[in-house]
């Protein structure tokens, strides 16, 4: 099986965002409202105080680590059929590009 992740981003009528990340190894899901801090359990087991904001097609998640932990910034920007994601810790930047799947393709 592939470990290439699939991201599903949904926004419900009440403005709740849900981001699901699916792989054959592990799945994760977070739900939040913009500009409202929430506790996020990260994939590495930390509990970060996260606040999400959005400007245009850019979704920005600011994760504040607990004492002794690093702060993290995660951005997702949709550009046509592509979503560019950056994960930033200190001066290290990880970049990933997602491509929209056809509507009839199975996850």
Can you tell me the distance from the alpha carbon of 65 to that of 77, in angstroms, rounded to the nearest whole number? Answer: 23
pLDDT-derived band at 2, boundaries 50, 70, 90: low
Read off the pLDDT of residues 63-107 as tens digits, 9 standing for 90 and up. 998 999 999 999 999 999 999 999 999 999 999 999 998 877 766
Read off the pLDDT of residues 7-65 as tens digits, 9 standing for 90 and up. 999 999 999 999 998 888 888 999 999 999 999 988 788 899 999 999 999 999 999 98
77 C-beta neighbours (distance < 10 Å), count: 15
Instruction: Specify whether the CB–CB gap between 76 and 84 falls below 8 A.
Output: yes
Of 81, 82, 51, 45, give the one whose Cα is nearest residue 64: 51
């Amino acid at each position: 099986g592939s470990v290439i992740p699939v991201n599903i981003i949904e926004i419900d009528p009440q403005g709740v965002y849900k981001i699901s990340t699916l792989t054959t190894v592990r799945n994760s899901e977070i739900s939040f409202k913009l500009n409202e801090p929430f506790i996020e359990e990260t994939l590495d087991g930390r509990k970060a105080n996260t606040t999400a904001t959005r400007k245009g097609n850019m979704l920005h998640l600011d994760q504040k680590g607990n004492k002794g932990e690093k702060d993290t910034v995660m951005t997702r920007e949709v550009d046509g059929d592509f979503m560019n994601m950056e994960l930033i810790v200190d001066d290290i930047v990880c970049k990933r590009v997602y491509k929209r799947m056809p509507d009839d393709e199975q996850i």
